[in-house]
Amino acid sequence: MNLYGMTLEGLQALAAKLDMPRYRGEQIARWLYSGHFDSIDGMTNLSRADRGRLKEVAEIRVSAPVEERVSADGTKKYAFLTDGGDVVEAAMIPDGDRRTLCLSSQVGCRVGCRFCATGAMRLRGNLSAGEILNQYRSIPERDQITNIVYMGMGEPLDNLPAVVDSARLFTAPTGYGLSTRRVTLSTVGKPEPLARFLDRCDVRLAISLHTPFEEERRGLIPGTRGYDLAELMQMLRRRAREDSRRVSFEYVMLKGINDSLRHADATANLVRGMRTRVNLIPFHPWEGNEMEPSSSAQIERFRARIEARGVAATVRRSRGLDIDAACGLLATQHPATTGGTPATTGERRTSADRHPA
């Protein structure tokens, strides 16, 4: 059993099962998370007997990155091996005083967004809470990270238990103690798992919209076929009235597909009245995908049109393109995740095949 990734409740239950006082759970949590300890022997406020009992059933499994690449713009990409032998990646994106860590929740993804190389990989597996948290714990910049975004590989709500546990551990006082305003979950927004997530985690949300039109969205994001966009929007509006959670919308700009002013008008209408922002993300083509990026001029026209309709809109800068760390490039070129076909040097991949930050 891996202690790393266990919640306070889980650690308290384990302590009780091992005939330890219940407060041992909190002590262990503090060693694991704020203490960054990876050795049960180092937990010096546990009795020798309790440490011995713990070691009989559990270990602390954390792992350093197996690869690190640095972009000319300062973005860093880290690769980690999963317990199952796959590779997942996280990107650390510096921007002024901010250090944003974009992490993965799955190996591959089954949502199948048409513009996304990760979607083309299909789902290979879920990460455990420990494997998600380890992408933060084990990088050299850990203590400078200001923001965590679940926007790497995978649809977080398709791995709900591990994502809930990890998000709570990022923000719990007995976890890493980060502000809930500094953690953002990006999702296509399936209403039922989203409601369960919102009931348990108070972090920010980024909804992958990509088009305001229902049928078109089902084509672009096949994983949304089972639910209505209207139902999702209704739920988001209701929740926004109940709590002060910030929700933003992500929109990958695809030439001739979703970048018309008609789309801009409908997008503004869809989200108007919410305290929100639409983030426009340039698409970066990748081999095997026929879609084209919208021109910079069209993206700017689209942004201005949304703003003219009273909704805040921004254009995201692409980061880490030279090391395949921009949106969607994570882990797609590793043999373990591509069936043994590494990318050729200079091969272009998408900057939009993961949930954009």
Q: Binding residues for ligand SF4, per CB under 6 A?
A: 109, 111-113, 116, 118-119, 153-155, 188, 353-355
Of 119 and 175, CB closest to ligand SF4: 119
The torsion defined by the Cα of 89, 117, 146 and 133, in degrees rounded to 10, comes to -40
Of 25 and 112, CB closest to ligand SF4: 112
Of 28 and 109, CB closest to ligand SF4: 109
Of 109 and 203, CB closest to ligand SF4: 109
Q: How far is the CB of 110 from ligand SF4 (least distance, A)?
A: 7
Residue of 89, 131, 155, 250 marked catalytic: 89
Q: Is 235 helix (H, G, I), strand (E, B) or coil?
A: helix
Q: Name which of 249, 257, 248 is nearest 294 in CA terms.
A: 257
Q: How far is the CB of 37 from ligand SF4 (least distance, A)?
A: 33
User: Closest residue to ligand SF4, Cβ-based?
Assistant: 119
Of 41 and 192, CB closest to ligand SF4: 192
The torsion defined by the Cα of 229, 312, 246 and 136, in degrees rounded to 10, comes to 100
231 given a catalytic annotation = no
DSSP state of 162: H
Q: How far is CA 5 from CA 10, 28, 60, 313, in A?
A: 10, 12, 9, 36
Q: Name which of 42, 164, 170, 157 is nearest 106 in CA terms.
A: 157
Strand partners, 82: none
What phi and psi, each to the nearest 5 degrees, are found at residue 137? -60, -35
9 CB neighbour count, 10 Å cutoff: 12
Of 118 and 351, CB closest to ligand SF4: 118
Of 204 and 305, CB closest to ligand SF4: 204
163 CB neighbour count, 10 Å cutoff: 27
Q: What is the DSSP string of 7-28?
A: -HHHHHHHHHHTT--THHHHHH
Q: How far is the CB of 223 from ligand SF4 (least distance, A)?
A: 6
Residues sharing a CB contact under 8 Å with residue 316, sequence separation 6 or more, in sequence order? 279, 280, 281, 282, 356, 357
DSSP state of 85: S
89 given a catalytic annotation = yes
Give me 357's structure tokens: 């930050």
Amino acid identity, position 169: L
Residue of 102, 113, 116, 327 marked catalytic: 327
CB 288 within 8 A of CB 317: no
Give me 61's structure tokens: 């499994």
Q: Name which of 168, 199, 197 is nearest 183 in CA terms.
A: 168
Query: Which residues form the catalytic set?
Result: 89, 327
